[in-house]
Amino acid sequence: MWRRSASFILDNRNAAPPQPPAAAKPDTLTLSSAPPPTAAMADALQNPNPNISAYYQTRAAHHGVVTSDWLAQAQAAVGPRSVEGGDGSSSAADSGGVGGGGGGGVGRPFSVIDEFNNWRKQPDLAEAVAAIRALAAVIRNSEATTMMELEIELKKASDSLKAWDTTSISLTAGCDLFMRYVTRTSALEYEEFNSAKSRLIERAEKFGEISQKARRIIAMLSQDFIFDGCTILVHGFSRVVLEVLKTAVQNKKVFRVFCTEGRPDRSGLRLANELAKLDVPVKILIDSAVAYTMDEVDMVLVGADGVVESGGIINLMGTYQIALVAHSMNKPVYVAAESYKFARLYPLDQKDMAPALRPIDFGVPIPSKVEVETSARDYTPPQYLTLLFTDLGVLTPSVVSDELIQLYL
Amino acid sequence: MPDVQALVNEFLFKLKNGEILKIEGSHATARQTAILLRSVISQQRIPHTHQAAALIDAVKAVGEQLVAANPVELAVGNIVRRVLHIIREEDLSLTTVAMAGLNVSPVSDDEGETDQDDHPVLSAAAVAAASRNTLRPPSLQTLLEDLPDSTAIPHTSSSGGDSDGKSKSADKSTRSRKLKHDVIEALNELIGDIDTCHEQIAEQAVEHIHQNEVILTLGSSRTVLEFLCAAKEKKRSFRVFIAEGAPRYQGHLLAKELVARGLQTTLITDSAVFAMISRVNMVIVGAHAVMANGGVIAPVGLNMVALAAQRHAVPFVVLAGSHKLCPLYPHNPEVLLNELRSPSELLDFGEFSDCMDFGSGTGSPLLHVVNPTFDYVPPKLVSLFITDTGGHNPSYVYRLIADYYSNDDLVLQRKPAPTN
């Protein structure tokens, strides 16, 4: 509460001394001084850049336009451990944890974080799925002999994953889902340990399919809402939204898309590229041009990084703004989100979440006295959303908390 | 079955004709659909295995035809889907009871929904509760339990049969009779509900209409009539403004009825609604259908009344029996869920024959007449829904839908037989 008062001068004075350089000095743009970890203990692996949201960095890597100096910084941050050409090299899908844990680190103890990072590099894989696959690798490599031991190991691994990146909602949700599944499924108590273990591993592997299946279900459900001749406004790059639009093209619908640029990672440009490949008429808008063009728009379609208990969503910075404009002009706002993105959070305002910061490159040096708002995401309250398309069905925002209870039951 | 087919054809003819809609309304349509489906089910011969699937198939076959005959009459589709949901529920409760003593693999249900039922002994109450839960949308368990895509209802009966071979045949034949019997009983209940929906809604009138209030309504609806009369009988004195509801002027009929029951009535034109709305305490109207998002398909003119009510902060109350609740989302209701009626209701052909002459030289005339039957009222304009189960918020409609309908029945087209 003190943060929001006008006494920011006092706050700055109080906060300045212990503040680490990375968060407040965008002109230098060098990353945190913490050295890249060398010999990593399995559970003590630190996120090299705790002030920068790894989740949003990854999204930028997958979907944004990558500039060369960003790439250099990313390499510096990840360190020599990174597997070169990491995209898609996890074709060694079932080869187990140790082999995929790090190309250079032979003989290092198994690390769930490494495993997770490995999976995360695949651009098509959702965070929650990567988390669950990483946890499956934990099970595979575990030497526990009883379910309790296994559960304790899993809990430790899940906690370390969550602590590694506190900003990623789907990561937390994926870990929670899997943990609850393991602890709540009474079937596992009756079965013999080894078969239970193999069943858990099999289920976790299958969860990856669920991600694809969920996207297809969502695409199918949303088809009726896209009519011929409509104009859709999209924000940022969402794989689910892309799937929806691809399916609409396959169903021979005629529509056009307005893409916002999505600063600072400019993920909208990537989406525009993809749509252009599908021969969909695309128009790119700078983020400020949304209100200007809103009267031509028939509907807004966005993805979500997380769906919260109130029925609102957490998504790329700018979504709240677009929803406000759409609401004031009576345009429907549709959200496409898979069910594992539902999180047990209830933000009361924009600052009520763990901060997820992302450095912004303005291209010109910014004086050090000037602060930059580097938050990567915002919260859109449920009253500005019309419908959510999920693999559980088409939901109005008020249904979400009901479904959440069911999901985490 | 030639007998049933004749009934179906007759009903189809009535639907296509539109007579039912014009004369009797969605209540009668719903009732007749339910009765028709009851005869279809009772006359359907079902095999010993996959009984529920056979019943569902038969009902879907008839349902498809009925819905295709008149897509705007949503009550038909609603009742078909209610019946399908009843069949699934009854089948599920029968199989869970049967499974209870057998201690076997989990009860599988429709695609995407399952429940790990490992408790060897289930009390009847638990079974009922389980059956309620398993037909709800998938939970955590189902996300992580991968399920075969084909409908698992045949799966259920066969797994039940496989496990205990001894009592298989005896068990099955009693079960087959029982399923049909249960379904028909439930259907009778449904028909009873449809019949009494007006009384049940009218019972709640006293809670909503208070002394010396002014109520506004438009056109004529039997539900509204009974609602107002019930309040009158409980000795509430109130006044009613009736907007006449052009072009059919059904408001005139309602005014006559209300005056006959001793209510102080004022008749106004539709255009005067905005002028009078500030003197009104509550707007009470009927509906043609209530959609899954809480939006209402109502007689034309009600969108305007709803907007006026919102502008002046007057509660807008919609009365609807549960057979009007439709699980579909309105994608383009003004066009797809509307019916355009004859221009003769607006214009006199004699006077306007020169303007509307389609046969003359240039082809298309300059005067077009649009006479829609329905209006779409978005959910944010509705304050309260009063159904036979009580009063609900528009955002609560999804719960009612989950209670009455299954997700699999939203699309009535039958899929080709699944490969096992």
pLDDT at res. A138: 82
Q: Is it the case that residue A202 has pLDDT exceeding 90?
A: no
pLDDT at res. B361: 61
DSSP B75: H
Q: Is it the case that residue B316 has pLDDT exceeding 50?
A: yes
Q: CB-based contact (8 Å) between B116 and chain A?
A: yes
Q: CB-based contact (8 Å) between B329 and chain A?
A: yes
- Chain B residues in contact with A399 by the CB 8 A cut-off are 395, 398
Best of A170, A176, A183, A185 to substitute, by most chain B Cβ atoms within 10 angstroms, is A185
pLDDT at res. A50: 60
Best of A205, A402, A404 to substitute, by most chain B Cβ atoms within 10 angstroms, is A402
Confidence of residue B2 (pLDDT cuts 50, 70, 90): low
Q: CB-based contact (8 Å) between A225 and chain B?
A: yes
Chain A closest-CA separation from residue B401 CA (Å) = 12
The mean pLDDT value for B377-389 works out to 94
pLDDT at res. A6: 55
**CA B244 – CA A223 distance, rounded (Å):** 40
Query: pLDDT tens, A213-222?
Result: 888 999 998 9
Q: Which of A320, A342, A346 is nearest to A333 (CA)?
A: A320
pLDDT at res. A243: 92
CB–CB contact B137 A207 (8 Å):
no
pLDDT at res. A79: 53
Q: In chain B, what percentage of residues exceed pLDDT 90? A: 35
Q: In what side-by-side order are the strands of the sheet with B214-218?
A: B264-268, B239-243, B214-218, B282-286, B316-319, B384-387, B390-392
Chain A closest-CA separation from residue B111 CA (Å) = 12
What tokens appear for A318 in the block? 């700018």
The residue ranking higher by pLDDT, B160 or B3, is: B3
Kindly report the average pLDDT of chain B as a whole number. Answer: 79
Best of B105, B133, B143 to substitute, by most chain A Cβ atoms within 10 angstroms, is B143
Contact B302, B282 (CB under 8 A): no
Helices in A165-256 by DSSP H: which ranges?
A: 169-184, 187-190, 193-222, 239-250
How deeply is A117 buried, as exposed, middle or buried, from its count of CB atoms within 10 A (0-12, 13-18, 19+)? buried
Query: Which DSSP helix (H) or strand (E) runs through B216?
Result: strand B214-218
Q: Is it the case that residue B142 has pLDDT exceeding 50?
A: yes
The residue ranking higher by pLDDT, B346 or B144, is: B346
Chain A closest-CA separation from residue B268 CA (Å) = 31
pLDDT at res. A8: 55
Alpha carbon B58 to chain centroid, angstroms: 20
CB–CB contact A187 B116 (8 Å):
yes
The mean pLDDT value for B150-177 works out to 45
Query: pLDDT tens, A369-379?
Result: 998 888 888 99
Residue whose tokens read 């969108």? B303
With the C-alpha atoms ordered B295, B301, B303, B309, is the resulting torsion angle positive or negative? negative
The residue ranking higher by pLDDT, A186 or A128, is: A128
pLDDT at res. B417: 47
The residue ranking higher by pLDDT, A226 or B174, is: A226
ipTM entry? 0.74
Chain A closest-CA separation from residue B395 CA (Å) = 6
Contact A252, A230 (CB under 8 A): no
Phi, psi of B241 (to 5 degrees): -100, 130
pLDDT at res. A403: 74
Q: Is it the case that residue B99 has pLDDT exceeding 50?
A: yes
Q: Which distant-in-sequence residues (6+ apart) come within 8 Å of A197 by Cβ? A: A139, A150
The residue ranking higher by pLDDT, A320 or A99, is: A320
**CA A233 – CA A278 distance, rounded (Å):** 17
Q: Is it the case that residue B4 has pLDDT exceeding 50?
A: yes
The mean pLDDT value for B121-139 works out to 45
Residues 339..358 of A with a Cβ closer than 8 Å to B: which?
339-340
Q: Least CA distance to B411: which residue of chain A? A: A221
- Chain A residues in contact with B329 by the CB 8 A cut-off are 224-225, 387, 394
**Alpha-carbon separation of residue B94 from B211, B242, B343 (angstroms):** 50, 51, 54
Confidence of residue A112 (pLDDT cuts 50, 70, 90): confident
Chain A closest-CA separation from residue B225 CA (Å) = 32
CB–CB contact B138 A398 (8 Å):
no
Query: pLDDT tens, B347-382?
Result: 888 887 777 766 666 667 778 888 999 999 999 999
Query: pLDDT tens, B20-74?
Result: 556 567 888 889 889 888 888 888 877 777 778 888 888 888 888 888 888 888 8
Q: Which of B189, B12, B199, B173 is nearest to B85 (CA)?
A: B189
CB–CB contact A227 B332 (8 Å):
yes
Residue whose tokens read 């499974």? B99
Q: Half-sphere exposure (CA, 13 Å, Cβ side) for B265?
A: 24
Query: pLDDT tens, A18-28?
Result: 444 433 333 33
CB–CB contact A224 B407 (8 Å):
no
pLDDT at res. B414: 65
What tokens appear for A288 in the block? 């400020």
Q: CB-based contact (8 Å) between A184 and chain B?
A: yes
Between A180, A227, A392, which is nearest B138 by CB?
A392
**CA A334 – CA A343 distance, rounded (Å):** 19
Q: CB-based contact (8 Å) between A203 and chain B?
A: yes
Instruction: List, as own/partner pairs, every contact residues A328-331 make where C-beta atoms lie below 8 angstroms and the sequence separation is at least 24, other chains included.
Output: A329/A294, A329/A295, A331/A294, A331/A297, A331/A298, A331/A299, A331/A300
By mean pLDDT, which of A2-16, A384-398, B184-198, B230-244 is the weakest?
A: A2-16
Contact B185, B41 (CB under 8 A): no
Best of A396, A402, A405 to substitute, by most chain B Cβ atoms within 10 angstroms, is A396
Q: Count how many pairs of residues, chain A against chain B, have C-beta atoms within 8 Å.
A: 67
**CA B53 – CA B88 distance, rounded (Å):** 9
Q: CB-based contact (8 Å) between A56 and chain B?
A: no
Query: pLDDT tens, B334-344?
Result: 778 888 888 88
Kindly report the average pLDDT of chain A as a whole number. Answer: 75
Q: Is it the case that residue A268 has pLDDT exceeding 70?
A: yes
**Alpha-carbon separation of residue A194 from A191, A396, B141, B348 (angstroms):** 8, 43, 21, 84
The residue ranking higher by pLDDT, B361 or A265, is: A265
What tokens appear for B204 in the block? 């709640």
Q: CB-based contact (8 Å) between A387 and chain B?
A: yes
CB–CB contact A209 B331 (8 Å):
no
Chain A closest-CA separation from residue B291 CA (Å) = 12
Q: Is it the case that residue B207 has pLDDT exceeding 80?
A: yes
What tokens appear for A61 in the block? 């890597």
